[in-house]
Amino acid sequence: MDFTIQNQKDTRSGFGEGLLEAGRRNPKVVAFCADLTPSLKMGDFAKEFPNRFFQTGIAESNMINMAAGMALSGFVPFTGTFAAFATGRVYDQIRQCVAYSNKNVKIAASHAGVTLGEDGATHQILEDIGLMKMLPNMTVIVPCDFNQTKNATLAAAEHDGPVYLRFGRPKVPNFTPVDEKFVIGKAQMLQEGTDVSIFACGHLVWKAVQALPILKEMGINAELINIHTIKPLDVEAVLKSVRKTRCVVTAEEHQRNGGLGDSIAQVLAMNAPCPMEMVAVNDEFGQSGTPEELLKFFHLDTPDIVEAVKKVVTRKQ
Amino acid sequence: MTINELERTATQVRRDIIRMVHGCQSGHPGGSLGATDIVTALYFDQMHIDPAQFRMDGNGEDMFFLSNGHISPMLYSIMARRGYFPVSELATFRRLGTRLQGHPTTAEGLPGIRIASGSLGQGLSVAVGAAQAKKLNGDPNLVFVLMGDGEQEEGQIWEAAMYAPAKGVDNLIAIIDYNKKQIDGSTDDVLNLGDLRAKYEAFGWNVLEMNGNNMQEVVDTLNLARKNACQGKPQVILAHTEMGMGVDFMMGTHKWHGTPPNDEQAANALAQLTETLGDY
């Protein structure tokens, strides 16, 4: 993988572009938004397809169930709000009318994790991946950059079934190929290695990319895999990597409980037990600050991934 | 169907309800009995539907959503009697492996059910979404939704109630089963609903009222609501009903909300309900 930074862009803008493109490709694609159209970058879709855009006001429960009702007739509804309000606030609505009823609703969730920044813990949900992956029928996608979020949005639109699509607020390095087809459930190999498997998702993929040259300096040949689909998890890719490296570090902007690391740990425990370290928030709420300050504060930064690798490699010996 | 035929059908549905909840010793007879006349009129007289060719998308036909899913025995009986699935299947209600789950679901593939319900307060929103889909598709058919009155205590109801008139969702007819009772007692005691008519009118709905246990009045009011539809406002009908209607000892109390009759009580109830269409 070429890690050249093409530009600095927010993943939510990748969603906005992907939604517009999905709308152009398929007249059945419709969008709902609960008073966060600029934040979710849904304005271009709303402008081009005013009849297929539904402003719900600040009423997320109603939004989720209306989307489910509209999905019945063959439409492909995307709902847009912050991740905190797209999951916890409407969990029962998603559970009954989207997941259990298996409706073709795409829950687009922006401003996930601590990189939301200054708004603080009320808005920085760190439990959403767990909430969504526990639901039968639900697909959970956490793309890493602008390009991948756009491509994941297009894939979600083509996928038949409920999807939770999680992305974020800040501008981050955009490095994945522009038009790379996003395959749901297929892990993305970013660098092959032999000494440790790093499984990352979302914004922490780039933090892990930055760890690679540091680890190389230390003589650690790390393998980095982007687990952009938390569910269904690419178990085959995980086990193939682990059978080679025999130790694992996971990195995510989420609670340890219920996140990517939790999913990987289940696979390892049942199939290939080995030392594992988790770079994640550990049972605490977020707080106000800049995104970069918060990543450091909660030990979700590149040095934290490096430390976790050093530790897990030692444990292996 | 004539009023007499509708009434005869409703009586059989009431027998089915008693036999179903008695059979599995589980379920909600009170609300089911009370709402029977309304939903019988919808399925046998009012709605343009094609049970033999059930379409999940509902395109080209009227759609019905049961928001208060706990009165499922009533819906299952009516759907079976209308031809969505074999009447004999009513015997499987709430038993392991059944398509007739305690609360309606799409998960078991029962023809006629389009979305799960049971967790209250969600059906009106679903119906609004379905109605908007009909508008997008240029489908002139209507969307009906039945809600409980206790369900009006859910905040989400009022999100949907605010949305529908504001966005001109006028191809929608909501019906509230206004029996003034819920699990813990009368709605007045549990959480007073206040003036529901005034509340819905203030939200921008056209409000109708009827005796939901008088078949002639039910049919007349539904006809009026259909006539009023698609003229700018959604319609809501406050259907004054009696929980437990048709079985004397189940009426006038909230106690039969979720309690099945024992053998003796079931026999007593069935003695009050003539077998009109043949038991399953």
Q: Is B226 exposed, middle or buried (0-12, 13-18, 19+ CB in 10 A)?
A: middle
Residues A113 and A12 in one domain: yes
CB-CB neighbors (< 8 A) of A97 in chain B: 115-116, 122, 126
Distance from CA of A289 to the nearest CA of B (A): 33
Asked if omega into A232 is within 30° of 0 (cis), the reply is: yes
Distance from CA of B151 to the nearest CA of A (A): 15
pLDDT at A1: 85
Is A140 within the bounds of a domain? yes
Is A95 within the bounds of a domain? yes
Cβ contact, residue pair B125, A62, below 8 Å: yes
Is A180 within the bounds of a domain? no
Between positions 262 and 301 of A, the ones with CB within 8 A of B are none
Residues A87 and A219 in one domain: no
Q: Is A160 exposed, middle or buried (0-12, 13-18, 19+ CB in 10 A)?
A: exposed
Is A67 within the bounds of a domain? yes
Per-residue model confidence as pLDDT tens for chain A (317 residues): 899 999 999 999 999 999 999 999 999 999 999 999 999 999 999 999 999 999 999 999 999 999 999 999 999 999 999 999 999 999 999 999 999 999 999 999 999 999 999 999 999 999 999 999 999 999 999 999 999 999 999 999 999 999 999 999 999 999 999 999 999 999 999 999 999 999 999 999 999 999 999 999 999 999 999 999 999 999 999 999 999 999 999 999 999 999 999 999 999 999 999 999 999 999 999 999 999 999 999 999 999 999 999 999 999 97
Give how far the C-alpha of residue A269 lies from the chain's centroid of Cα atoms, to the nearest Å.
23
Distance from CA of A98 to the nearest CA of B (A): 9
Of B56, B117, B163, the CB nearest to A62: B163
Of A70, A74, A95, the CB nearest to B129: A70
- The residue ranking higher by pLDDT, A1 or B170, is B170
Q: How far is residue A91 from each of residues A116, A212, B116, measured CA to CA in Å?
A: 21, 38, 15
Contacts (Cβ under 8 Å, ≥6 apart) of A196? A215, A220, A222, A223, A245, A247, A248, A249, A309, A312, A313
Cβ contact, residue pair B129, A69, below 8 Å: yes
Tens-place pLDDT, residues B70-122: 999 999 999 999 999 999 999 999 999 999 999 999 999 999 999 999 999 99
Chain B, nearest residue to A103 by Cα: B115
With tokens 């024992």, the residue in question is B262
Half-sphere exposure at residue A33, Cβ-oriented, CA atoms within 13 angstroms = 20
Cβ contact, residue pair B126, A65, below 8 Å: yes
Residue A51 to residue A42: CA distance in whole angstroms: 14
- Catalytic residue numbers of A read 60
Residues A290 and A234 in one domain: yes
CB-CB neighbors (< 8 A) of B140 in chain A: none
Cβ contact, residue pair A59, B163, below 8 Å: yes
Is A183 within the bounds of a domain? no
Residues A16 and A157 in one domain: yes
Is A132 within the bounds of a domain? yes
Residues A161 and A197 in one domain: no
Per-residue pLDDT, averaged over B200-228, amounts to 98
pLDDT at A240: 98
| Interchain CB contact of A5 with B (< 8 Å) | no
Residue A279 to residue A251: CA distance in whole angstroms: 5
Question: Are A112 and A167 within 8 A, CB to CB?
Answer: yes
To test the contact with chain A by mutation, choose from B122, B157, B171 the residue with the greatest count of A C-beta atoms within 10 A, namely B122
With tokens 């593939």, the residue in question is B109
Angle between helical axes of B215-228 and B3-24 (0-180°, round to 10) = 110
Tens-place pLDDT, residues B3-39: 999 999 999 999 999 999 999 999 999 999 999 999 9
With tokens 């169930």, the residue in question is A65
Question: Are A310 and A283 within 8 A, CB to CB?
Answer: no
Beta-bridge partner residues of B148: B177
Homologous superfamily (CATH) of B3-271 is: Thiamin diphosphate (ThDP)-binding fold, Pyr/PP domains (3.40.50.970)
Of A57, A70, A92, the CB nearest to B133: A70
Cβ contact, residue pair A61, B125, below 8 Å: yes
Distance from CA of A86 to the nearest CA of B (A): 15
Chain A, nearest residue to B145 by Cα: A69
Question: Are A298 and A286 within 8 A, CB to CB?
Answer: yes
Residues A165 and A196 in one domain: no
Residues A47 and A106 in one domain: yes
Contacts (Cβ under 8 Å, ≥6 apart) of B195? none
Strand order in the sheet with A76-82: A53-55, A29-33, A76-82, A106-110, A163-166, A139-141, A229-231
State which residues form the domain around A284.
188-316
Is A290 within the bounds of a domain? yes
Is A23 within the bounds of a domain? yes
Name the domain boundary from A174, A200, A216.
A174
| Interchain CB contact of A31 with B (< 8 Å) | no
Name the domain boundary from A147, A174, A201.
A174
Number of domain units in chain A: 2
Of A59, A77, A97, the CB nearest to B122: A97
Cβ contact, residue pair B136, A92, below 8 Å: no
Residues A193 and A134 in one domain: no
Cβ contact, residue pair B58, A65, below 8 Å: no
In degrees and rounded to multiples of 5, residue A114 shows phi and psi of -70, -20
B88's tokens: 């004999």
Pairing mode, if any, of strands A276-281 and A248-255?
Answer: parallel
Q: How many percent of chain B have pLDDT more than 90?
A: 100
CB-CB neighbors (< 8 A) of A67 in chain B: 129
| Interchain CB contact of A137 with B (< 8 Å) | no
Half-sphere exposure at residue A79, Cβ-oriented, CA atoms within 13 angstroms = 36
Pairing mode, if any, of strands B235-240 and A196-200?
Answer: unpaired
For residue A12, give the nearest of A78, A63, A61 by alpha carbon.
Answer: A78
Contacts (Cβ under 8 Å, ≥6 apart) of B138? none
Name the domain boundary from A120, A148, A174.
A174
Of B57, B116, B156, the CB nearest to A74: B57
Of B57, B116, B163, the CB nearest to A101: B116
To test the contact with chain B by mutation, choose from A65, A93, A135, A138 the residue with the greatest count of B C-beta atoms within 10 A, namely A65
pLDDT at A238: 98
Contacts (Cβ under 8 Å, ≥6 apart) of B49? B43, B61, B62, B82
CATH number at residue A310: 3.40.50.920
